[in-house]
Amino acid sequence: MRKITNATRGTAAIEFAIVLPLLLAIVFGIIEFGAVLYNQAVITNASREAARFSAAFYTNPANATAAQPTCADVQNYVVSYVNTYFLSFTSSSFNASNVSCPTTTPYHDYTGLAGVVSTIRIQYQYNFMLFGNLMGLLTGGAWAPSLTLSAQTAMRAEDQGP
C-alpha cells in the first residue's frame, strides 16, 4: 500500500506541465485577439475622422476658393491619429501607404441635392507576434499568421463657408 501512495507524488507537476502550453496558448490568444479588435476599432474611427476632416472644409470669402484638404493632408491626419492610439506588439508601423487618398465621386440623393463624396480607405496588415510565436513553439515550426484590418468611410463634402 505504501508503494502505491509514493508512486503518485509527482503527478500534479506532470499534469501541470501537460496543461501549461494549452493554458498559455489560450491566455496569449485572448491578449492578442483583444489587441486586434482594439486596433480594428482605432482604424474604423480613424477612417471616420479622416472622412470628416476631408469633407468639412471652409471656403475663403476673400477669393471664394475652397480650402479642401489634399490627399497628403488626409494621410498625415490619419497617420497621426492611428500612431497615437494604435496598440502593436511588433515593430511594424502605420504609415501613409496604408491610407488611400480621398476619392471624389458624384453624389445624388432622391431629394435632388448634389455634391461630392469623399471616401477614405485604410488597410493595415497586422502580424501576430505573441500568439504566432507561441503557436510556432507548440507546432515546432515557423508560424507567422497575419490579418488584414481595413475600414472605409464615405462622407458627403460640406462647404463650411458663409
- Per-residue pLDDT tens for 50-67? 888 887 765 555 665 656
Return d(Cα 81, Cα 42) in angstroms, integer: 9
Confidence of residue 110 (pLDDT cuts 50, 70, 90): very low
Phi-psi region of 69 (alpha: psi -120 to 50; beta: other; left: phi over 0): beta
Q: Return the H-helix or E-strand segment holding 84.
A: helix 71-85
Domain ranges of the chain: 2-159
Return d(Cα 82, Cα 84) in angstroms, integer: 5
- pLDDT tens digits along 20-34: 988 887 888 888 888
Q: What is the pLDDT of residue 45?
A: 94
3-state secondary structure of 24: helix
- pLDDT tens digits along 54-107: 877 655 556 656 566 778 888 888 888 888 888 776 666 788 888 887 665 554
User: Is residue 49 within 8 Å of residue 77, measured between CB atoms?
Assistant: yes
